[in-house]
Amino acid sequence: MTLTIDNQLISLAELRKAWLAPVEIAIGGDARHRIAESCEYINEIVSEGREVYGVNTGFGKLANVHIADEELVHLQENLVRSHAVGVGEDLDDAIVRLVMIMKVIALAEGFSGVRPELVDMLCQLINHEIYPRIPSQGSVGASGDLAPLAHLAGALIGTGEVRMNGTLMPAHVALEEAGLAPLTLAPKEGLALINGTQVSTALALAAVFRCENLLSAALVAGAMSVDATKGSDTPFDRQIQNVRGHGGQIAVASVLRELMRGSEIRASHVGCDHVQDPYSLRCQPQVIGACLDVLRHVCAVLETEANAVTDNPLVFAESSSVMSGGNFHAEPVAFAADYLALAIAEIGAMSERRVALLIDPQMSELPAVLVEDSGLKSGFMLVQVTAAALASENKSLAHPASVDSLPTSLNQEDHVSMATFAARRLHPMLDNVVNIVAIELLAATQGIEFHRPKHSSMPIEGAVTAVREVSPHYSEDRSLAPDIARVAALIDKGVFCEHAASVLPAQSS
């Protein structure tokens, strides 16, 4: 994909493509003009000797310290070097690529006072697939993602490490191989690079993209479980959804109806005397629909944030002013991530309940633990235990991060968002639920096959085929751990997205 940044809205669909694969990026003419105007105004301030925070002063509580003109380059480089103190596992290259693209988007708005050369350099790193090594821990989400973004900024000046073609190497070596020279930072440029919410936003966006794959697979698995247990599709009738009116509920019910349409299994018991199904089957539109509404809200917040200017101070060349504010405070991202955590946990909780239902012969009317000769064979007994363990973990991980705050920077930054952790913890939660839904897909596939020679709908039989391509029918006891991993990989690849794509905000935007 080629992406030209020219002060237009960059959609979630475009960012999703950039997360999935490398991208060519460039700055358009209007953006270049605005960047240059902003930079010229900073140069004017320096030449006139006016004192402006972050340009010729210290930082944070040290803002009252004036910095001489001959030290301004040193000031910015000191800032980058001293703030690159992240720890923990590295962010993967796909997330780093999102961080870099969103930093380009923000700087290209022309309110940061940086030179066009700096934004071009960022574009060159992206285009050469040179991704700074950014540790995942060390940001409290205000004043922006300082530590992780300092690791990004270090690559521009030739310090720290980067990955190029998948190989970790010193930044200066990668720049030389790409025919690029390290930048010397001009006034305010170090501060503009390390202030911003791009890391927390990138982590949250990647979670959204993964969650779309997960929610789609959960809908397929849920429809399969309804058919495997000879449940009813009546609760998915549009009339029921319409009188409540929630958009997510209406959309999810529509997907479930389409998934089950034409099932021979469903047709075989239309006139049965069964009255009502358990909630984990019957209430999918209400629960997963609410999760879809959460996802849509989170997408709206993150699309705004991905296109936002979030450094400080901001340069308004047209009004000849530089203003200090707080756009770096990532509270919107923290709230969005905490909200999404609830939806992820609920998708997993409901899927785990359906697994328990499938293996219980009193509830499902299927063979106990989904295997012939149960007792001699334990079948799917323990995969439900695994699903329960994962669902329980997510109850703790879903605790809101945004309610916590610790003062930093000599108490100048006395309230922080914790957005970076809020977004980062979504990924282990997603790992857990992807595995839970993989277990349900395996169990529901096994259940569907007990109804042969009757077949389910075409979409469900397609899902059965996809599962069976990586996991053979379970007839003798074996470890299902490799099967779970293979089906989980299908979920993460978006194999089950086809029937829900139209209702997913980042895929349909």
**Type and span of the H or E element at 354:** helix 331-359
Write the CB contacts of 387 (distance below 8 Å, at least 6 apart in sequence). Answer: 351, 352, 355, 356, 435, 436, 439, 440
Q: Furthest-apart CA pair in the chain: how many Å?
A: 88
Residue 460: C-alpha distances to residues 225, 230, 261, 280, 405 (Å)? 10, 14, 9, 18, 47
How far apart CA 497 and CA 499 sit, in angstroms, is 6
Query: 3-class DSSP state for residue 413?
Result: strand
How far apart CA 196 and CA 102 sit, in angstroms, is 10
Query: 3-class DSSP state for residue 163?
Result: strand
How far apart CA 342 and CA 358 sit, in angstroms, is 25
What is the chain's length?
A: 509
Q: Are 193 and 156 in contact (CB under 8 A)?
A: yes
Which amino acid is present at 256? L
Joined together, the tokens standing for residue 416 give 């922080």
**Type and span of the H or E element at 315:** strand 314-316
Q: Which residues are catalytic?
A: 53
How far apart CA 508 and CA 409 sit, in angstroms, is 42
Q: Which backbone phi and psi does 246 adopt, to 5 degrees?
A: -75, 130
**Type and span of the H or E element at 322:** strand 321-323
Half-sphere exposure of 463 (CA within 13 A, CB side): 37
- As a three-state string, the secondary structure of 104-129 is HHHHHCCCCCCCHHHHHHHHHHHHCC
* H-helix segments, 72-179: 72-83, 93-108, 116-127, 146-156, 171-177
Number of helices (H) and strands (E) in the chain: give both, helices first: 22, 9
Residue 405, Ramachandran bin (φ over 0: left; ψ between -120 and 50: alpha; else beta): beta
Our measurement of the distance from residue 176's CA atom to the centroid of its chain's CA atoms, rounded to an integer in Å, reads: 33
Our measurement of the distance from residue 265's CA atom to the centroid of its chain's CA atoms, rounded to an integer in Å, reads: 37
